[in-house]
Chains A and B, each alone.
Chain A
Amino acid sequence: MKPYIAILSSRFRTLLQYRAAAIAGVGTQLFFGLVRMMIFDAFYRSTTADQPLSHSETVTYIWLGQAFILLTLFGVDTDVALMIRNGNVAYEMTRPVDLYKMWFARALSGRAAPMSMRVVPILVVAGIFFGLTPPASFTAAALFHVSIVGGLLLGASMVTILTISMLWTISGEGISRLAPALVFIFSGIAVPLPFFPDWLQPLIAVLPFRGLMDTPFRVYLGHLAGTDALLAIAHQVLWLLALCMSGKWMLSIGIRRLVVQGG
């Protein structure tokens, strides 16, 4: 595992250099968080019906979303994308490492590093000024941590698959536009998933995208507790395994193609 951890940590340290981007990111997320808060204020003021989340829960859900927004924003790994485009990807094979694990490590650090710089300031500001509440219980907090890690890994496995798919599409343009749209809707970042109509819920429950955000956030709120929380985390793990396995398989085919047709 050591080489992959080294790749991860070196990439992580590199990305930590981008402080200006982090500050700008925090500002942007605070602004959009306020906008979304106002929209839901208006919504709760105009309804008397029972809602799947209380007003205060929704506020917390929104601010968690703003803080952890990088769990959802999807794009392929630009460095690897460039290598695939100019054919240099073949040279990656002269290193004594497994390509899938290396790309996965890159994808993971590419998400975790910028996120780690944004999370704390946003949570602090939202906690003091905008009504973010603490986790429902100690257990909820512990499980939240587990499922955030799950969400990170799940996201990295999705990014890795998108990157690998570029071995066929080369440009990656189409797929890196399509994927964020799906994620935007089905992860809960646009509208918290409990608000979606009942007929859509089975689909949402099966798709992997809820594992990115909705699962950890509802665990945090205590909405998913006990067996439900464990089942939701199991859903994350199952999808993670499935995506990693299919990613590895896709990569082996893609590389064979590359190798057969010339670099």
Chain B
Amino acid sequence: MSQIVVEDVTKIFRVASRQPGLWGSIKGLVRRDWREVRALNKVSFSIGRGELVGYIGPNGAGKSTTVKILSGILVPDAGQVSVLGYVPWKQRIDYVRKIGVVFGQRTQLWWDLPVMESFDLLRDIYAIPQTRYRESRDQLIDLLDLSGLLDITVRQLSLGQRMRCDLAAALLHEPELLFLDEPTIGLDAISKLAVREFIGRLNKERGVTVILTTHDMDDIEALCRRVLVIGDGRILSDGTLAHLRASVTRERWLTVDLMEDAPVTVVSDSAAQLIRQEGRRFCLAFDPLQVSAAELIARVARTYPVHDLFVENPPIEAIIARIYGRERQLKS
């Protein structure tokens, strides 16, 4: 059953534009020129209960706009949205009670309050019954390892600590649906791993539906079974990571390290294409339908003094970059 249904949603922003220079400023006083920016253009998708969906796209592609519409902040200009049976912006107060939202760029906590008091305040705001509150709070404190942070005021927390507290704050009322807008932005490697692991468990063990926007492709690879790619206000791709890869390219990469004492040379093969060289490391791209990995490896190992080699899929960044490149070409 679909929890989220988005149909033909369009959102247009009107942006005041001003001609440059003094004369432009003066003219702007009298008459504003409005430019229309189509942030979303007939976007449709649906997401089922318990899914963990990655929502990716470059800056300005319409990611945040979508999340804001889904979380009841923005009203679309056209199209239908139904989340958990609600129209988010129409039944805002009842609806937001059922969802959790975390914006990586901003805290939902109160700067001046100790973490624990922030939680207590959220209990009152969400009207969570005391016993359920205590249970869910203690569980989150345990899972996110917050016990040492509870009497510190929010302004004194590090970014990683704050993000863990923010995640707890968004989940105290046990929402069925969680929106995460760049939850790992600015975090160090350890905090990122902690946040990622927590999100994964939440989805697996509690069955919380998660929608995750991010620029960090490691987040996506680690967590998301399904990826929605948005660009220029349209959904460019929707499916599993494997599907996304396959739709763009069959290409695989063979990375070859030559022996330390090998004479300086360039690794090449008729069936593969050299895409990168760093010192003695060469990266070849090949199409497994033209030449099998085994065949290529055997040939390369025969011809060159190979120290080490491995085959991998192109990183997701390269795939995404290619999708955007293709879109742009189609347009022009």
Residues of A within 8 A of B (CB): 2-3, 5-7, 10, 14, 88, 90-91, 93-98, 259-263
Whether B96 lies near A95 (C-beta < 8 A) is yes
Q: How far is A261 from B74 in the complex, measured between Cα atoms in Å?
A: 9
Whether B127 lies near A88 (C-beta < 8 A) is no
Distance (whole angstroms) from the CB of B160 to the closest CB of chain A:
21
Whether B73 lies near A90 (C-beta < 8 A) is yes
Which residue of the partner chain A has the closest CB to B71?
Answer: A94
Chain A residues within an 8 Å CB radius of B310: none
Distance (whole angstroms) from the CB of B330 to the closest CB of chain A:
27
Whether B75 lies near A96 (C-beta < 8 A) is no
Q: How far is A150 from B94 in the complex, measured between Cα atoms in Å?
A: 32
Whether B65 lies near A94 (C-beta < 8 A) is no
Whether B14 lies near A261 (C-beta < 8 A) is yes
Whether A94 lies near B101 (C-beta < 8 A) is yes
Whether A263 lies near B113 (C-beta < 8 A) is no
User: Is B22 an interface residue, CB under 8 A from the partner?
Assistant: no
Given contacts A6-B121, A14-B112, A261-B14, contact A94 B72 (CB under 8 A): yes
Chain B residues within an 8 Å CB radius of A14: 110, 112-113
Distance (whole angstroms) from the CB of A3 to the closest CB of chain B:
4
Whether A259 lies near B121 (C-beta < 8 A) is no
Whether B74 lies near A262 (C-beta < 8 A) is yes
Whether B65 lies near A3 (C-beta < 8 A) is no
Binary contact track B113-127/A, C-beta < 8 Å → 1, others 0:
100010011001111
Whether A3 lies near B113 (C-beta < 8 A) is no
Whether A93 lies near B96 (C-beta < 8 A) is yes
Q: How far is A97 from B112 in the complex, measured between Cα atoms in Å?
A: 20
Chain B residues within an 8 Å CB radius of A6: 120-121, 124-125
Chain B residues within an 8 Å CB radius of A91: 73, 101, 103, 106, 108
User: Is B92 an interface residue, CB under 8 A from the partner?
Assistant: yes
User: Is B97 an interface residue, CB under 8 A from the partner?
Assistant: yes
Q: How far is A5 from B124 in the complex, measured between Cα atoms in Å?
A: 9
19 inter-chain pairs at a CB distance below 8 angstroms, sorted by A residue, are A3-B124, A3-B125, A5-B124, A6-B121, A7-B124, A10-B110, A10-B121, A14-B112, A90-B68, A91-B101, A94-B96, A94-B99, A95-B125, A96-B94, A96-B97, A259-B73, A259-B74, A259-B75, A262-B39
Q: How far is A51 from B329 in the complex, measured between Cα atoms in Å?
A: 86
- Chain B residues 118 to 167 lying within 8 A of chain A, measured CB to CB, are 120-121, 124-127
Which residue of the partner chain B has the closest CB to A94?
Answer: B101
Whether B68 lies near A263 (C-beta < 8 A) is yes
Chain B residues within an 8 Å CB radius of A96: 93-94, 96-97, 125-126
Whether A2 lies near B94 (C-beta < 8 A) is no
Whether B65 lies near A93 (C-beta < 8 A) is no
Chain A residues within an 8 Å CB radius of B101: 91, 94
Distance (whole angstroms) from the CB of A1 to the closest CB of chain B:
10
Whether A262 lies near B65 (C-beta < 8 A) is yes
Chain B residues within an 8 Å CB radius of A263: 68, 73-74
Distance (whole angstroms) from the CB of A52 to the closest CB of chain B:
45
Which residue of the partner chain B has the closest CB to A3?
Answer: B125
User: Is B324 an interface residue, CB under 8 A from the partner?
Assistant: no
Distance (whole angstroms) from the CB of B210 to the closest CB of chain A:
16
Whether B75 lies near A97 (C-beta < 8 A) is no
Chain B residues within an 8 Å CB radius of A98: 93
Contact of A93 among B73, B97, B113, B125 (CB under 8 A): B73
Given contacts A88-B106, A95-B96, contact A259 B89 (CB under 8 A): yes
Distance (whole angstroms) from the CB of B37 to the closest CB of chain A:
9
Closest 10 CB pairs of A and B: A6-B124, A96-B97, A3-B125, A94-B101, A262-B13, A14-B112, A90-B73, A96-B93, A96-B96, A93-B73
Whether B72 lies near A93 (C-beta < 8 A) is yes
Given contacts A93-B96, A95-B96, A259-B74, contact A10 B113 (CB under 8 A): yes
Whether B75 lies near A260 (C-beta < 8 A) is yes
Q: Which of A5, A259, A262 has the most CB of B within 10 A?
A: A262
Chain A residues within an 8 Å CB radius of B96: 93-96
Known: A6-B124, A94-B99. 13 other contacts (CB 8 A): A6-B120, A10-B120, A90-B73, A93-B73, A94-B73, A95-B125, A96-B94, A96-B97, A98-B93, A259-B73, A260-B75, A261-B13, A262-B65
Which residue of the partner chain B has the closest CB to A262?
Answer: B13
Q: How far is A98 from B92 in the complex, measured between Cα atoms in Å?
A: 10
Q: How far is A177 from B103 in the complex, measured between Cα atoms in Å?
A: 34
Distance (whole angstroms) from the CB of B67 to the closest CB of chain A:
10
Distance (whole angstroms) from the CB of B10 to the closest CB of chain A:
13
Q: How far is A5 from B127 in the complex, measured between Cα atoms in Å?
A: 12
Binary contact track B7-51/A, C-beta < 8 Å → 1, others 0:
000000110000000000000000000000001000000000000
Chain B residues within an 8 Å CB radius of A7: 121, 124-125
Distance (whole angstroms) from the CB of B129 to the closest CB of chain A:
12
